[in-house]
Amino acid sequence: MNITIIGDGGWGTAIGLLLHSYGHRVTLWGPFAAYLDEIRASRENSRYLPGIALPDDLRWIADPVDAVAGAEAVVLAVPSKFYSSVCVSFAGLITTPGTLVVSLTKGLCEKTHRRMSEIAQSTLGLDTIAVLSGPSHAEEVARGIPTAVVAAADDEAIAQRAQQLFNGPLFRVYTSTDTLGVEIGGAVKNVIAIAVGASDGLGFGDNTRAALITRGLAEITRFGIALGARPETFSGLSGVGDLIVTCTSRHSRNHAVGERLGRGENIEAILGSMKMVAEGVWNAKAIHSLAQTHGVEMPITDAVHALCYESFSARTAVETLMARDTKPEA
């Protein structure tokens, strides 16, 4: 099968390697031709997935028309901040009826609060959209570490197509028809990971980390249900599974941002020093706003928003959380 990955970052590259290992012909699109030339020459994505040797027959193309020509499946793997504009670049180019489009991006649009699959569907003009989510760091998938994720689509048949495409000996894929819940879990967990990182940066311990993860899951579930998601989705791979890995892993960029905030660094300086995107910083704004619109209480998300956008110190944010009125656990 001819498959195009839109996005030359770590996750797009790792998924490209996975699909290539199944025998598919894989093309990866990136916006900067000069960097793609570097990848072709070195056979390594040194900026986003260093240390991983890339096969000679992976194709790297900067022209959108050439990238999707003949594609039988398209995978979207670009940061949420650039997702809309990249989709616009490919609007009208995926013309084969029934082409499967799978979105890997976790987040919400900062301006419109739309989910990534909603943006893809409306911009690309296709209804064969699925999302793939769950605890799946690119660094581990690229090295063949056993991983389990969920493929979601409102239509079970489309979810099954995505499952069949990605499932393999070391990459197990389940299905779900709760696309909304799967995408909400993937978006909000990044915000909670910043809070956990800040706790670690302050030198707090396992008790605090466990409390933030547990109460963070309560926030994610409460928020998702208010938007129409199914509660059980948040007990699965795209909910608690992804939350655990993002809050505890050394690979987590969101945790790393939080840890540096906890040590007193400035958010602008942190982001300026990073090669890759920490989705939780951008998504904290959209989730904070959407929670207010729907009247959903999300104190940890509020604290992360204050850290990133209101010049709160990490210690002040913790004090604010701990000083809240007592309540039953729910």
- Positions annotated as catalytic residues are 189
**Coil, helix or strand for 223?**
helix
Give the pairing type, strands 25-29 and 129-133. unpaired
Place of tokens 């390697």: 17
Residue of 326, 281, 279, 277 whose CA lies nearest to 304: 281
d(CA 230, CA 240): 14
Q: Cα-Cα-Cα-Cα dihedral of 42, 19, 92, 152, to 10°?
A: -130
H-helix segments, the chain: 10-21, 33-42, 64-68, 80-90, 116-124, 138-141, 156-166, 179-201, 206-227, 242-248, 253-262, 267-272, 279-294, 299-309, 314-322
Cβ neighbors of 278 (< 8 A, separation 6 or more) are 190, 194, 253, 254, 256, 257, 271
* Beta-strand pair 147-152/73-76: unpaired
Tokens 């993002």 appear where?
246
Name the one residue in this structure whose structure tokens are 């998924």.
15
Pairing of strands 129-133, 147-152: antiparallel
